[in-house]
Amino acid sequence: MDTNLLATLADARPNWHLVMIGPVVKIDPSILPQRPNIHYLGGKSYQELPAYISGWQVALLPFALNESTTFISPTKTPEYLAAGKPVVSTPIRDVVRPYGEQGLVHIADTAAEFVLAVEEAMTQRDDQEWQRKVEAFMQDMSWDQTWHGMVELMAQASREKHSI
């Protein structure tokens, strides 16, 4: 998580409430920005998450850009889109491609751009065209399809290995 980005966002828009869900791992809790409008709720069960997400206007992916995040592929991206939430992310490669390139997710390089992107994303709540694009993009995405695709790739690799 880009803690500086989070602090800047909270300071720039003190009337926004930034709700952070998830355990704090791989980061010293003492460096988390503390602001009246930042709420760290800790980990939640999968059963609880829809209730929280339903109250959000925008879903944020404020990942720090570093060696640890170079090759991540946040599963939160399609989950947030499936929940009908506009998403704003830092330029994580697997979010930029394909979601940013398809105009499904807002990508912001700087804190100032992130603030503007969140403001723009807030206007998408009733954007029927955006919702249709998201639905069309995601209609063939499921964990079952991903699993079947991976099984087929492994079978293909095994066949190729044995034919050598």
Q: Which residue in the block uniquely carries the two structure tokens 């926004």? A: 16
Per-residue confidence band for 28, with pLDDT thresholds at 50, 70 and 90: confident
Which residues fall within 8 angstroms of residue 19, CB to CB, at 6 or more apart?
39, 41, 52, 56
Query: Residue 161 pLDDT > 90, yes or no?
Result: no
pLDDT digits (tens, 9 = 90+) for 108-142: 999 999 999 999 999 998 899 999 999 999 988 77
Per the confidence metrics, is the pTM higher than 0.75? yes
Query: Residue 164 pLDDT > 90, yes or no?
Result: no
Can you give the CATH number for the domain in which 20 is found?
A: 3.40.50.2000
CA 78, CA 60: separation in Å to the nearest integer? 12
Query: Residue 148 pLDDT > 90, yes or no?
Result: no
- Cβ(78)–Cβ(87) under 8 Å? no
Long-range contacts of 158-162 (CB under 8 A, 24+ apart): none
Q: For residue 50, what are its two tokens?
A: 């829809």
pLDDT digits (tens, 9 = 90+) for 55-107: 999 999 999 999 988 888 899 999 999 999 999 999 999 999 999 999 999 99
Q: Is pLDDT larger for residue 27 or for residue 54?
A: 54
Domain span at residue 70?
3-162
Q: Mean pLDDT, to the nearest integer, of 2-28? A: 93
| Total structural domains within the chain | 1
Query: Residue 149 pLDDT > 90, yes or no?
Result: no
